[in-house]
Amino acid sequence: MSAPIEKVAVVGAGNMGSGIAQKTAQERFDVQMVDREAQWVERGHNIIANFLSEAVERRIFSEDQVEDIKGRITGVVGVENVAEDTDLVIEAVFEDFDIKSAVFHTLDASCGERTILASNTSSLSVNDLSRATARPDRFVGLHFFYHPAKNRLVEVIPSNDSSEDTVNRVVQYCKQLGKVVIVCKDRPGFVVNRFFVPWLNEACLLMEEGVATPAQIDAVACDSFNIGMGPFALMNLTGPPIALHSTDYLAEQLDTPRYTGAQNLRDLVKAEAMWDIGDDKSCDTQTAITIRERLLGTVFAVATQIVQEEICSMEDVDRGAKVGLRWASGPFELMNEVGVKEAYRMAADYTALHTNGEGFTLPDFLQNKADTGNPWVFEFVDAEIRGAIATVNINRPEAMNALNETVVEQLGAVMDALNQDNSVDTIVLEGAGKAFVAGADVKFFVDRLDEDAFPKIYDFTAEGHAVFDKIENSPKTTIALTTGLALGGGLELALACDYRVGTRRTQFRFPETSIGIYPGLGGTQRTAKICGLPAARWAVLAGNWIGPQDAVDLGLLTHFVNPSDVDSTVEEIAEKGKPEKKYAGHPSRLSDTIKSAVAFYCDENVKAILEGKDPPSPVNEAYAGRQLKQISRTAPIALRMASELIDIAGSSELTDGLDKELEHLEAIFATKDAYEGLSALIQGRRPSYTNE
């Protein structure tokens, strides 16, 4: 196994380069921020300092954290002075092939032979850039989205010569940044810009043709795509010159005349002006239909071309839209919403606008799909097998990998296949993006309650139990990579595994009692079996946040490692095999935090705690006050039922306790408090419980 990336350099200290350096430092990498003159390096430091100051004001970081981040960024003047032992150098200079090539020529001479070179580019050919280096096998394209410290998407573009090892190491680096990674083919526009840039230009053409004003087009676009900013507002935000450069580039590279920047956009850029959008958004119905169908048709047609050309999967196209552009739905999901037959008509109408079809062909598979009358079906769970280790990726990062009916069904099918695969001896579960799994899909519960369809909630939960049982009783060694958030149902999924590997980014929590329900996928049972009843009460009843060290002390986390050591830890666990004893029934270590938790939530104190009273058994007064305040925010019925289920775990076999969780399900979801808590979470407000 290759060594992970640890030492990083970013060449270019402008807005994008400084943002990449900042995000890299935030994730505790030491990073060199490089530019050709000291003044530009200093400017990069100032950009980062200003950004982090705003983060302090918003209470995202403390002053100490900011100083720690800034302390990991070393300014370097001159590309030739990048440290020889740097693992990865990311070039983030101006989008000009000759300038980038000159940078890589210098890096080839100054960097060690193992150094990987990457170009942060939104448009240039990665294959062409790779040939400008002396190490095409250790070269990849990266497309970070602005602002790279905030936007979670990154496109990784291998060249034809990129080695598998190079791509894997860069992907792991991006994942350590908490990024959602799309690995895609080197084609103009890659994934997101391939459909987004024509969408922007089509808006300009609608205006140029006199169909509508920028305000009207933006308003219809926001409504049609369920987005916060329309195309003209977005161009004003990022700069019209960027839009013009991008659309002209696509027109040239794809030989598609319609992509050539609209004349009004060209005139605007020449005048160094911004779009005058105005406030009059109203338009007649037919105009709104024209705008809507032109913009949707553009996206539908181009999205299917992306899949036809095998640039990436349709799931990744949608992922790019939702994570990178923050659209509520991706192109293929939008097709399902309007109906695939209607989507095909809109895409065909857009295709007809291209002059004699020059440079633009609509893939046949869209019409074939429309003829079936069936919607697109998405795959959110997949498995990759390397040697005897299978990695199961839950890939729904736009929803923080929340469990819904589709994810649970697909996870069950993947587990069935892997459990029967004799070539596999270890199964690793991993979530895409910053979360392992952030619970179950709460909207599903509210929608079913609105329909008065509790049996669907029961069936979904029972299916979850069945799938978790396939993990619990798998003949393979099972490992959950809980290297991010694992909340509610996600933590319950992790606890079904033999081992849980975490890093400094690991955060556990059972939030259920605060939203009117109890953990119904084994949380009351497996937690108690692992760390004992008092500690389980601390975790489940109060919904306390559990950091990585507390998780280790409780026994919920079996391995706490540096991010760079995750892969080697998985290999060590695979070599060791299944644990001799998974359920210890007591915390692994009685740290001060765990001692306080166990003392406060002992059997003698439970009755008083459930009533919100000071417990009879002596405890630290300040600690008791904090815990009782936490308890006061929970739903009383959910709190009581969760406590009863934890007690059952202390006197029953695991299977019996899990059955009891299912038996109590109808009673908890029948309460007004359950509906109130779940609804409040969706609406972003504090619930008001009535104990009903």
The share of the chain scoring above pLDDT 90, in percent, equals 95
Mean pLDDT confidence for 190-201 = 97
CA distance 378 to 369: 14
Query: Boundaries of CATH 1.10.1040.50 in the chain?
Result: 192-372
Q: Which CATH architecture has domain 381-683?
A: Alpha-Beta Complex (3.90)
Q: What is the pLDDT of residue 3?
A: 81
Q: What digits encode the pLDDT tens for the residues 47-95?
A: 999 999 999 999 999 999 999 999 999 999 999 999 999 999 999 999 8
Confidence tier at 357 by pLDDT (50, 70, 90): low
Q: Which two tokens stand for residue 526?
A: 């497996």
Segment 486-499, tens digit of pLDDT = 999 999 999 999 99
The pLDDT assigned to 160 comes to 96
pLDDT at 1 over 60: no
Tens digit of pLDDT for each residue in 16-48? 999 999 999 999 999 999 999 999 999 999 999
Where do the CATH 3.40.50.720 domains begin and end in the chain?
A: 7-183
Q: Tell me the fold of 7-183.
A: Rossmann fold (3.40.50)
Contact between 574 and 426 (Cβ < 8 Å): yes
Which residues, other chains included, contact 492 with Cβ-Cβ below 8 Å and sequence gap of 6+?
Answer: 468, 519, 521, 522, 523, 526
pLDDT category of residue 359 using cuts at 50, 70 and 90: confident
| Mean pLDDT of the 642-666 span | 96
Secondary structure (H, E, C), 599-632: HHCCHHHHHHHHCCCCCCCCCCHHHHHHHHHHHH
Q: Say if residue 668's pLDDT is above 70.
A: yes
pTM for this model (two decimals): 0.90
428-443 residue pLDDT tens: 999 998 899 999 999 9
Of 5, 280, 317, the residue nearest 189 (C-alpha): 317
Mean pLDDT of 407-430: 97
Q: Locate all alpha helices (DSSP H) within 517-632, ordered by sequence.
A: 523-531, 533-540, 548-554, 566-576, 592-600, 606-610, 621-632
The residue assigned the tokens 């990336």 is: 5
The type of residue at 225 is: F
Task: Please compute the mean of the pLDDT values over residues 321-335 and round it to a whole number.
Answer: 96
Q: For residue 482, is pLDDT > 80?
A: yes
Selected residue with higher pLDDT from 142 and 279: 142
Instruction: Tell me the CATH architecture of domain 192-372.
Output: Orthogonal Bundle (1.10)
Q: Start-end ranges of CATH 3.90.226.10 in the chain? A: 381-683
Task: Look up residue 79 and give its DSSP letter.
Answer: G
What does the pLDDT average to over 498-512?
96
| Predicted confidence band of residue 425 (pLDDT cuts 50, 70, 90) | very high
**pLDDT mean over 355-368:** 86
Average pLDDT over residues 147-153: 93
- Cβ neighbours for 91, distance < 8 A, ≥ 6 positions apart: 11, 12, 100, 103, 104, 107, 117, 118, 119, 120
Q: What is d(CA 619, CA 622) in angstroms, rounded to the nearest whole number?
A: 9
Model confidence over 521-548: pLDDT tens digits?
Answer: 999 999 999 999 999 999 999 999 999 9
Contact residues for 692 (Cβ-Cβ < 8 A; gap 6+): 637, 671, 672, 673
